[in-house]
Structure 1
Amino acid sequence: MNHPDARELLHIARQTLLQELLPALPADKRYLTLMVANAMAIAGREYQDANSADGLEHEHLQALLDDRQLSLGDARQGLAAAIREGRFDGGDERSRLLEALQQTTLAQLAISNPKALP
């Protein structure tokens, strides 16, 4: 027997909240309820897509730092240090950094606020 996974459970709970409970709540509770529903939607997307977004970021950072052995955390720290040192201040390096940051940001935005995507 297949049981719903965490994403499916969040989706079911969110739909129940919005369709069944929200209409029955007093007006002063609607905003809070919608905030909870939004958090549930973000959590569902996070469950489904976070590994992919982190993997994309990890690949970009390893390529920027030219070190395929770095963990994601170490790559983030290494990137911050490289930026402080001015490694990406000009030319092609700057373009590579901006492209990687843009792709990483878009992947994270698809999780946290997909309506804001271009």
Structure 2
Amino acid sequence: MNRPDARELLEIARQTLLQTLLPELPADKRYLTLMVANAMAIAVREYHAGSRADAEEGEHLRALLNDPQLSLELARQHLVAAIREGRFDAGDEQAQLLQVLQQTTLAHLAISNPKALP
């Protein structure tokens, strides 16, 4: 295994940016530098958990749509069509949809903005 891997390289680069370069930058460049550091942190979390979040979303959507053969992209498209058709407008179907959407949102929020999690 090659060391450091992509995740480790991003973490090292981010720490260098924040600890070494940021203090030396003029005030008008700090905000942009912090945005770059934040993007790097998101990329690290995406590297670590993104495929798992997508796999779980796919499982939930395939179960919700009762179609185990769908890819994640097709499952998303079928979900949109089913919502437009009113399939999830009431009852147990609506509760199941809301649960799947909440799980998916929380999993992706953990990657993009974990501080916003409840």
Alignment of 1:56-71 (within 5 A): 56-71=56-71
Match of 2:16 in 1: 16
Aligned residue type for 1:21:
L
Question: What is the deviation of 1:5?
Answer: 1.1
Measured in 1, the distance between the counterparts of 2:6 and 2:115 equals 23
Question: What is the deviation of 1:2?
Answer: 4.2
Match of 1:41 in 2: 41
> What CA deviation, in whole Å up to 9, does each residue of 1:79-116 have, x standing for no partner?
00000011000000000000000000000000000000
Measured in 2, the distance between the counterparts of 1:93 and 1:4 equals 46
Measured in 2, the distance between the counterparts of 1:72 and 1:20 equals 41
TM-score, scaled to structure 1? 0.98
Corresponding residue SS for 2:88: coil
- In the alignment, structure 1 residue 114 sits paired with structure 2 residue 110: no
Corresponding residue SS for 2:87: coil
Segments of 5+ residues of structure 2 without an aligned counterpart are none
Match of 2:51 in 1: 51
Measured in 2, the distance between the counterparts of 1:2 and 1:32 equals 31
Overall identity of the aligned pairs, in %? 77
- In the alignment, structure 1 residue 98 sits paired with structure 2 residue 101: no
Segments of 5+ residues of structure 1 without an aligned counterpart are none
TM-score, scaled to structure 2? 0.98
Aligned residue type for 1:85:
E
Alignment of 1:25-40 (within 5 A): 25-40=25-40
Aligned residue type for 2:19:
Q
Structure 1 ranges of 4+ moved more than 3 A? none
Measured in 1, the distance between the counterparts of 2:63 and 2:22 equals 47
Match of 2:84 in 1: 84
Aligned residue type for 1:86:
G
Q: CA RMSD in A?
A: 0.8
